[in-house]
Amino acid sequence: MHQHPLAAAATPSPHTSAWQVFWIFLRLGLTSFGGPVAHLGYFRDEFVQRRQWLTERSYADLVALCQFLPGPASSQAGMALGLMRAGMPGALAAWLGFTLPSALVLALFGLGLAGGHAVLPAGAIHGLKVVAVAVVAQAVWGMARSLCMGRARVTMMVLACCAVLLVPGVWGQVGVMLAAGGAGWWLSGRGRTVVAETAIDTPDGLQVPLRRRTGAALLAVFAALLVLLPLAMHLWPGSLLAMVDAFYRVGALVFGGGHVVLPLLQAEVVGPGWVSADAFLAGYGATQAVPGPLFTFAAFLGASMQVWPGGWLGAAVCLVAIFVPSFLLVAGALPFWEPLRRNPHAQAALAGVNAAVVGLLLAALYNPVWTSAIHSGADFGLALAAFVALMFWRVPPWAVVLACGVGGALLALGG
């Protein structure tokens, strides 16, 4: 019986420790520039191509789940990978490693230790945007080759890309994935082959070391905190509990992650006078210059709070509060997700969703990744060189990131 070439290698190893997971994600947290879409590309290169922790389809299914859930999709994917590899400690280790570098830099900036200066020169920041083009292009190329085989899925990919470009925003993305899943289900019901036999994962799949009962309990805690935190804040008023409530609510209710969180955070912290409008914008600018998830902006806000606690304690409180919903949602949903994705009709629906996910990445490659980074022939040349280095020369992503940062700075000096 023919087996998927990655199937045997994709089974989680019981010897992977949370400490190993932490170091892997710490390196990614130090080098993953370019925003959530680029982060998913870095993860794919590390865990599907290099380490073969899971198959291409399993990874795409995981990305699809994280896109459906509120919160930062790339951080949630990292938590899920850590959870599947080393249990709950692995999920915490993945989050800590991926989040810590940017959180520390932004907390220091919030405390004023950066002196109000830019974290990196403008040219270097632009070079980091350019490398994101290469990273996302590599992810689109590789995922399309394995997830968009056949006319039906190629058509779904193109239609999803066009639809998201015409109807931007998180609801457009969710609508496109729902429509693609429905199309896959409908085609399978009419006897059309949507999932190729060689693309169906063997039972290694997404191994989740949690019971459904545990998942249901975590989802119940997620919902209970949404209700109980505002009640507790009214019963025991105080700035600390108010911060926890505000940042937990933002992390629990924002769909799309990334930049979508900014207007919500601005309303929560600038409105009551916790952070000045100028400080908020300065922190947002600094966040663009550091790797890792954009949600680490919460560390800057907590550190620069004009009310107690502020400082390091404020940074830790706000950072943890905004990520706790993601942890509860991912760990709660995964035990139910794996049995669902094994159903033949669900597999056909997921094949359509996976094709749509590639279309979403293709749309993101154009806007905002390409439109915000490629402004000249020199930018295009730098992105092309980075793509060739990643795709054909197999240069480590961190080395390509550093080279593009230096290249962007040199181009700025030359210009």
pLDDT tens column, 234-247: 888 888 898 999 99
CB 183, CB 153: distance < 8 Å: no
41-82 pLDDT per residue, tens: 899 999 998 888 888 888 988 888 887 788 888 899 999 999
Position 285 scores a pLDDT of: 60
357 has pLDDT over 90: no
Given pLDDT bands bounded at 50, 70 and 90, which one contains residue 371?
confident
Please state whether the peptide bond connecting residue 14 to the residue before it is cis, i.e. omega within 30 degrees of 0. no
- What band does 145 get if pLDDT is binned at 50, 70 and 90? confident
* DSSP code of residue 196: -
Q: Residue 25: CA atoms inside 13 Å, Cβ hemisphere, count?
A: 33
What is the chain's percent helix, strand, coil content, to nearest 5?
75, 0, 25
**Cβ atoms < 10 Å from Cβ of 292:** 27
CA quadruple 181, 182, 188, 194: dihedral sign: negative
Q: What is the pTM of this model?
A: 0.75
Distances (CA, A) of 367 to 35, 74, 363: 12, 18, 6
Contacts of 209 (CB under 8 A, 6+ apart): 83, 84, 87
The segment with the largest mean pLDDT, out of 272-281, 354-363, 382-391, 398-407, is: 382-391
- In our burial notation (b when 16+ CB lie closer than 10 A, e otherwise), range 333-369 reads bbbebbeebeeeebbbbbbbbbbbbbbbbbbbbeebb
In angstroms, the CA 234 to CA 89 distance is 34
Least trusted range by pLDDT, from 125-134, 192-201, 255-264: 192-201
What is the structure's pLDDT at 398? 75
Segment 335-339 mean pLDDT: 82
Average pLDDT, the chain: 82
Kindly tell me if the per-residue pLDDT of 16 is higher than 90: no
Per-residue pLDDT at 330 exceeds 90: yes
Amino acid at 261: V
Matching residue, tokens 């899943």: 181
Q: List, in order, residues 6 or more apart from 276 with CB less than 8 Å away.
A: 270, 306
pLDDT at 117 over 80: no
Instruction: Say what percent of the chain tops pLDDT 70.
Output: 86
Q: What's the pLDDT at 5?
A: 39
Higher-pLDDT residue of 204, 88: 88
178, 67 contact by CB (below 8 A): no
Q: What is the structure's pLDDT at 385? A: 95
Cα–Cα separations (whole angstroms), residue 157 to 187, 206, 343, 353, 385: 15, 24, 22, 9, 26
Q: Give the model's pLDDT for residue 172.
A: 79
Higher pLDDT, 284 or 376: 376
Cα separation, 196 vs 305, in Å, equals: 54
Alpha helices in 73-169 (DSSP H): 73-110, 122-147, 151-166
Q: Residue 283 — pLDDT band, cuts 50, 70, 90? A: confident
pLDDT at 378 over 90: yes
Give the C-alpha separation, 154 to 257, whole Å.
Answer: 27
* pLDDT band per the 50, 70, 90 thresholds, residue 256: low
Percent of the chain with pLDDT over 90: 29
Answer yes or no: is pLDDT of 191 > 60: no
Whole-number pLDDT of residue 306? 80
Distances (CA, A) of 121 to 63, 288, 289, 348, 386: 33, 12, 9, 48, 20
- Does position 116 have pLDDT exceeding 60, yes or no? no
More confident position, 106 or 288 = 106
Q: How far lies 113's CA from each of 2, 110, 176, 300, 362, in Å?
A: 59, 8, 45, 12, 39
Q: Kindly indicate the confidence band of residue 405, based on its pLDDT and cuts at 50, 70 and 90.
A: confident
- Segment 124-145 mean pLDDT: 82
CA angle 102, 108, 110 (to 5 degrees): 100
Q: What is the mean pLDDT of residues 304-330?
A: 90
Whole-number pLDDT of residue 267: 77
How far apart (Å, rounded) are the C-alpha atoms in residues 304 and 198?
53
Coil, strand, or helix at residue 335?
A: helix
Q: Is the pLDDT of residue 197 over 50?
A: no
Judge contact between 297 and 75, C-beta under 8 A.
Answer: no
Where do we find the tokens 């990978």? 81
Cα–Cα distance measured from residue 407 to residue 44, given in angstroms and rounded to the nearest whole number: 25
Q: What is the DSSP letter of 369?
A: I
**pLDDT number for residue 205:** 53
Quote the CA–CA distance of 172 and 177 in Å, as a whole number: 9
